[in-house]
Structure 1
Amino acid sequence: MSPRGVRARPGVMSALNCTAPLETAVNSTAALLAAQRRQLLADIESRHALIYIIVVLSFYSAGIVIMMVKYMKQEREEQQEANMYRRYLHTARQQSGHTASRGRLANRLALQALNMANAVPQTTRQGSKVTFV
Structure 2
Amino acid sequence: MATELLFLGIAAFLAATLIPVSSEIVFTGYLALGYSKSACLIVASLGNCLGTTVNYFIGVAGLFAARKYLGLAPSTEAKLQTLSQRYGAWALLLAWMPVIGDPLTLIAGAARVRWWTFALFVFSGRIARYLLILFVFKAGFSD
Give the alignment's TM-score, normalised by structure 1. Answer: 0.27
| Structure with the higher fraction of residues in strand conformation | 1
In terms of Rg, which structure is larger?
A: 1
Relative contact order (C-alpha < 8 Å, sep 6+): which is higher?
2
Give the alignment's TM-score, normalised by structure 2. Answer: 0.25
| Structure with the higher fraction of residues in helix conformation | 1
